[in-house]
Amino acid sequence: MTESSQRSLQATPEQIVYANLLEKGMYLGLLILLVTYFLYVFGILKPYIPLNDIPKCWTMGVSDYLHHCNIQSGWAWVRMVYYGDFLNFIGIAMLAGVTIVCFLRIVPVLWKDGDKLYACFGLLEALILGLAASGILSGGGH
Amino acid sequence: MSKQGKLALIAFVCFFLVPVMAHSVMAATAPVVTDGTDGSYPWWMWPLILLVVTFVMGVAAVLGGVGGGVLFVPIISGFFPFHLDFVRGAGLLVALSGALAAGPGLLKLNLASLRLAVPVALIASTFSIVGAMIGLALPTQVVQIALGATILGICVLMLTAKKSEVPDVPTADRLSSALRIYGVYQEASTGQVIDWKIHRTAQGLVLFIAIGIMAGMFGLGAGWANVPVLNLLMGAPLKISVATSKFLLSITDTSAAWIYVNNGCVIPMMVVPSLIGIMLGSFVGVRLLRVAKPGVVRWIVIGMLGFAGMKALTKGLGL
């Protein structure tokens, strides 16, 4: 083996930490999504938009849909989470949020390992994803 | 007929069922826009239809070597009555879920490289936010036309792009050396230990600006573009490129998905069955992969994408 090939075939510690956290977050998010979806479609929790009206809503553009259904964009769904349809957003937010947590988790691991550049990269990535998640950025609508 | 032949036939039939089903769905739901009750399917049919169609897509995506998102957006937007805004939101979540499911295993096997993914992800995720914002600000018809053109471009890319198992990288460039982007993996089929490094890092990073924008704008995922850039341009081995690309989608699609979620482009009734269908289809696809002829299925996937791309184009042009 050459000198370079003697480097470990194993994943680095931060990679393992990231993978383990990602795995747990993904399973938890999926589980929550499935449970909340069944609560929604089987009518156990009352939806905000009646189920019979849904086929009318998804033919509209998003601006019309929000206006027609009187729904606010961004994190307003949190205030409506007691409705069956909006309850599903907990699982969706978990799936879309787990990567942010993973990056925040590996920052101290990288820093402790002396890999300060990648620790900064990790923090920067978490900030970028956090900015996207914050709801500050708007698509404008059409 | 051999077992492989039967499987290829099943895949072929399934693929032709998708547009046939979709056409019948469209015909049956045309009155929904104006009425919402007469002549349309009851609401509970929709999750079932999406589950079946996305299950077939999941099988095909694995066998055809493409991501679920790239099939989902053009097919669902082209043949179903859902508005493109919601299809893109669902498409991103479908692609994201697939990447999240595959990511941990690929990282643990050291096939996906965090060191390679992080700098690329910084660029791609930033620009996928930009792409999502552009995509939501542009008129739907413009996005639909651009989507059709992009899908047809992907077909050409799939037809012409070569792959290199282990590209020849004589020396790593300065940037990748400074970032310590290199690694070792063991080829399971031969037991060979392969040292890998990359070059043309700066050029690759620049291309990820465009990839990020397209991923966000169309909600496609971007494995179709990630792999050629990582493999052919930057010189990462094919397995490392495919695995890192899949993991990379979990980051790129996260940023774009949040923009769509926060702008109201997510309807759970569409998202959840699609996500389950694609995931179940992927599980079955992985098992079929052992016996099916991926080459045949790949041709079918290219044909389907071409058909869906043309449909998106004509829909956008109002033809």
CA gap A24, B150 in Å, rounded: 35
Q: Which of residues 14-43 of B touch A (CB under 8 A)?
A: 29, 32-33, 36-37, 40-43
Q: Which long-range contacts (CB under 8 A, 24 or more apart) does B225-228 make?
A: B225/B157, B227/B163, B228/B157, B228/B161
Say yes or no: A57 contacts chain B, CB-CB below 8 A.
Answer: yes
| 3-state DSSP helix/strand/coil % of chain A, to nearest 5 | 70, 0, 30
Report whether B155 contacts B306 (CB < 8 A).
yes
Say yes or no: B213 contacts chain A, CB-CB below 8 A.
Answer: no
Q: What is the Cα A8 distance to its own chain's centre?
A: 32
The one-digit pLDDT tens for each residue of chain B (319 residues) are: 455 444 444 444 444 444 444 544 554 444 444 344 444 678 889 999 999 999 998 888 877 777 788 889 988 988 889 999 999 999 999 999 888 988 899 899 898 999 999 999 999 999 999 999 999 999 999 999 999 999 898 888 888 877 778 888 999 999 999 999 999 988 777 888 889 999 999 999 999 999 999 999 998 878 888 888 999 899 999 889 988 998 999 999 999 999 999 999 999 999 999 999 988 888 788 777 667 766 777 788 888 888 888 888 888 888 7
Say yes or no: B319 contacts chain A, CB-CB below 8 A.
Answer: no
CA gap A124, A129 in Å, rounded: 9
Across the strands, what pairs with A50?
Answer: none
Query: In this structure, what token pair is assigned to residue B92?
Result: 């991103």
Amino acid symbol at B17:
L
CA gap B319, B307 in Å, rounded: 15
Model confidence over A48-87: pLDDT tens digits?
A: 999 999 999 999 999 999 999 999 989 999 999 999 999 9
Partners of residue A52 in chain B, C-beta under 8 Å:
36-37, 42-43
Query: In this structure, what token pair is assigned to residue A91?
Result: 């699982």
Residue of A nearest to B252 (CA): A129
Partners of residue A93 in chain B, C-beta under 8 Å:
261
Residue of B nearest to A72 (CA): B264
Across the interface, whether the CB atoms of B251 and A99 are under 8 A apart is answered yes
Partners of residue A27 in chain B, C-beta under 8 Å:
none
pLDDT of the residue at B294: 61
CA gap A28, B96 in Å, rounded: 15
Q: What is the pTM of this model?
A: 0.87
The backbone torsions φ and ψ at residue B184, rounded to the nearest 5 degrees and listed phi first, read -135, 140
pLDDT of the residue at B55: 92
Across the interface, whether the CB atoms of A16 and B183 are under 8 A apart is answered no
Say yes or no: A128 contacts chain B, CB-CB below 8 A.
Answer: yes
The one-digit pLDDT tens for each residue of chain A (142 residues) are: 454 544 578 899 999 999 999 999 999 999 999 999 999 999 999 999 999 999 999 999 999 999 999 999 899 999 999 999 999 999 999 999 999 999 999 999 999 999 999 999 999 999 999 999 998 886 555 5
Residue of A nearest to B253 (CA): A96
CA angle B11, B247, A115 (to 5 degrees): 165
The backbone torsions φ and ψ at residue B189, rounded to the nearest 5 degrees and listed phi first, read -70, -30
> If we measure between CA atoms, which residue out of B152, B33, B50, B145 comes closest to residue B91?
B50
* Residue A9 DSSP label: S
Q: Spell out the residues 6+ positions from residue B286 whose beta carbon is closer than 8 angstroms to its own.
A: B62
Say yes or no: A73 contacts chain B, CB-CB below 8 A.
Answer: yes
Say yes or no: B170 contacts chain A, CB-CB below 8 A.
Answer: no
